[in-house]
Structure 1
């Protein structure tokens, strides 16, 4: 098999590659983020502010199951990128087949458990009072489509590992567009309420999966599987698990933070405070799209060149990825700081939410310009197959700093303590990641002559 798609990762200039890989990923994430934002706007204006809070309660559970597919995708894609870089196509194919089998088995099991314990999970994640009823409606319907979403997210990572970012972008854009169209008809025209919002979301998952399936069955993919590739292979599963666990652990911690924040905020300010966090959370997803796009584009480049034993290209990709992501984050930061009131007004007309959310948003985004170092640094270790440092650095922000902060600071500062926990966690985790990344570069990557070591 010739290296039709992936060979450019080891030959083209790093700057050009990063733009080529990151731009489609950024556009895809942007469209998905806009989809979440507009979906929230539709729900807030056509159903009510409690509906926004209800969706925010459901997201941690559905996202965790879907993140299992992403974890398997990113973990396996790291193996595939390095395997393609070292001409080991047999391992690349076997890894992909194992990814599919593993995703299906685990996600279906988790969906069954999620539906079984529905009455315990929704209140645990903050679905109390008037939030519970709409949350239960949304939860049941969305969960049916989560295994399909997990397969789509897994496949999307593999598409990028093959060096085909445009197809990965389309796989993200198509369901987002369909979801918005379906939202209009199901919520506004047919007046299906929360059920309409849920069916629009679930239907979009199936569209994404259909496109990903078409890609791998077409001539565009290098990875052509047979039945033998789906048979589970323990050494490959172990490697997928060790690397994918990094992504899964990150999402697990995110789910825990949702649980804690929804409950802490509900106890402080009731449904209104949960809604404020829901709006800020949607903006957080949206605002990070350029940084996440550069991170997604960086992963296959670093992994391929590491597998191809080209350390100088790996080092250059780190430097440029941090610079590009940081520059983009600074621009988004400026917009958030200047126009928070205008942004919040798009979501709701509720006076309480309009009064409380802008200040919270400014605090949450205060450290946005420096977060690129933390994301690129932890992604680097995952890309090159070093699971332990990747795992620890991934947990640094949410697990080691953010969760302790939100458990301590609200006791002294109330709701303000929740919001200032965000920039404090960002700042501390960035320092730790910078130290680890700099040490790794000095130790294992050949420094470019007459230049200082990165970071």
Structure 2
């Protein structure tokens, strides 16, 4: 098989190239999303619905630390894509070395802080009442594996920047398959409960790290770094930081959203209402996997061609990515509108030995999830404009507009809405906030993107 090089990003037809980049990314995200989905189904059926709520409480903390690796990865990958497009391989190598050093320093520090403040963080994120103990068990074990996850997320972005989507896809599949296999062994066979769920996830992270480590040591990677590349360079760190901060800010806001949502919903309906949001959260990760896949596939194409000053190809990649993403988003919308009850029932146990409290919780979840799901995903067909628009500015190295557009949905619109609407509309106000924020952020991003195309790419 001929060796794949990054040069193809600037040569192949955009439509074909986007499919080649987006399909592996979509498959990888699908498997990771299925992992979260099936993991939740296993936990819900084998441990209980409170266990799903406990995991949902832990996610924002562990995801934020892992997002540090993703932020460093995406920020550095934008530099690498443009450097490869401009044939500046030295800068690409130095950037990659700095990414590794920075990821290790930051994530290990954050894990230490996360373990030290464990008893304060869990209640703050909604881990109250019967949720606290299982959440603490899961949280403590998960944090040990988060540095490996951060390195995987960083490495995955760099693999994609090299134009190697198939290897990036495999890196995303490995932890998911490993986690599900370990779920069966640790939870079902060994009956380890929450500890089993946590160790299964941690083992998956480790397997992913080993694969990414192998990739960069093998002949498949163009980035062969040495010790000199690990020394931190201020100018590169500044550029990684400005671009990576976009991703980090998005995840930080996501963690704040989880914090607010878990507490608001707990006050509205207790642990059962948090369980409803846990199911909605899983579907937000899972259902939109093809849209996120198109976005991930678009990033290296736009970045490489912008660095190579091929602006017609950049513009074509924007329009093609929006078209593809909008199509798959509409298909997702149709499925979720038709089958919300059937989807919710997958997460709930029907074991005959369920207690009266567990049965009552399951009934509550089944009654409240369908309407919530329809409202949350009501604006799904139009979100492609917002996602691709924000990704474009990040791909070409324009950190400020990328940051502002990334924060429009959750930061500027969604958080104010969930702080206000539930006071007047209760539970409905929470779910309605999602689609209103989607519409407003899409309009704003569309205006910025149209202006950019006319002024910079024409």
Q: 3-state DSSP class of the match of 1:36?
A: helix
Equivalent in the alignment of 2:137: 137
1:243-263 CA distances to partner (integer Å, 9 max, x unpaired)? 000000000000000000000
Shift of 1:355: 1.0
Q: What's the CA shift string for 1:165-218, capped at 9, x where partnerless?
A: 000000011111111111011001110000000000000000000000000000
Contact kept? 2:66, 2:149, Cα under 8 Å: yes
Give the conservation status (yes or no) of the 8 Å contact 2:160–2:168.
yes
CA deviations on 1:67-89 (whole Å, 9 max, x unpaired) are 00000000000000000000000
Matched residues in 2 for 1:342 and 1:54: separation?
Answer: 23
CA–CA separation in structure 1 for the residues paired with 2:340 and 2:103 = 39
2:371 to 355, 359, 382: 359
Aligned residues: 444
**What is the CA deviation profile of residues 121-176 of structure 1, one whole-angstrom value per residue up to 9, with x for unaligned ones?**
00000000000000000000000000010000000000000000000000011111
Which residue in the other structure is 2:156 paired with?
Answer: 156
The separation in 2 between residues aligned to 1:367 and 1:285, in whole angstroms, is 16
Q: Which residue of 2 aligns with 1:379?
A: 391
Show structure 1 runs of 5+ residues with no match: 447-455
Task: Check whether the contact 1:4–1:222 (CA below 8 A) recurs between aligned residues.
Answer: no
Determine the C-alpha separation between the residues in 1 that align with 2:336 and 2:102. Answer: 40
Structure 1 pair 353–4 and aligned structure 2 pair: CA distance change class (3 A): closer
In 2, distance between residues paired with 1:273 and 1:413?
16
Counterparts of 2:314 and 2:39 in 1: how far apart (Å)?
39
Equivalent residue in structure 1 for 2:448, among 436, 441, 453: 436
Alpha-carbon offset, residue 288 of structure 1: 1.0
Query: Structure 1 residue aligned with 2:429, among 407, 417, 436?
Result: 417
CA–CA distance in 1 between the matches of 2:296 and 2:428? 33
* Maintained 8 Å contact 1:26/1:293: yes
Deviation per residue, 1:39-77 (Å, 9 max, x gap): 000000110110000000000000000000000000000
CA distance in 1, matches of 2:415, 2:230: 39
- Find the aligned partners of 2:405 and 2:27 in 1 and give their Cα distance: 26
TM-score, structure 1 normalization: 0.97
Q: Secondary structure at the match of 2:346?
A: helix
SS at match of 1:347: coil
Cα distance in structure 1, aligned partners of 2:25 and 2:125: 30
The whole-number CA distance in structure 2 between the counterparts of 1:423 and 1:102 is: 37
Structure 1 residue 4, shift from structure 2 partner: 5.6
Deviations 1:275-323 (A, max 9, x none): 0000010011001100000000000000000000000000000000000
- 1:50-449 aligned within 5 A: 50-349=50-349, 350-446=362-458
| Displaced runs of 4 or more, over 2 A | none
Following superposition, the deviation at residue 351 of structure 1 comes to 1.3
1:191 alignment partner, SS class? coil
Per-residue Cα deviation, 1:78-113 (whole angstroms, up to 9, x for no partner): 000000000000000000000000000000000000
TM-score, normalised with respect to structure 2: 0.96
CA contact (8 A) 2:4 2:164 kept: no
* Distance in 1 (alpha carbons) for counterparts of 2:274 and 2:428: 14
- CA deviations 1:335-383 (Å, max 9, x no partner) are 0000111111111142111111111011000011001110000000000
Contact 2:4 2:163 in 1 (8 A): no
Q: 1:4 to 1:281 in 2, by over 3 A?
A: closer
Determine helix, strand or coil for the equivalent of 1:39: helix
For 1:231 and 1:68, the matched residues in 2 are separated by: 19
Contact 1:42 1:183 in 2 (8 A): yes
Please report how far the alpha carbon of residue 5 of structure 1 lies from its aligned counterpart in structure 2 after TM superposition.
1.0
- Contact 2:79–2:95 under 8 Å retained in 1: yes
RMSD: 0.7
**Counterpart Cα distance in 1 of 2:255 and 2:453:** 32
| Alignment partner, residue 49 of structure 1 | 49
Distance 1:137 1:80 in 2: 39
Contact 2:74–2:244 (8 Å) recurs in 1: yes
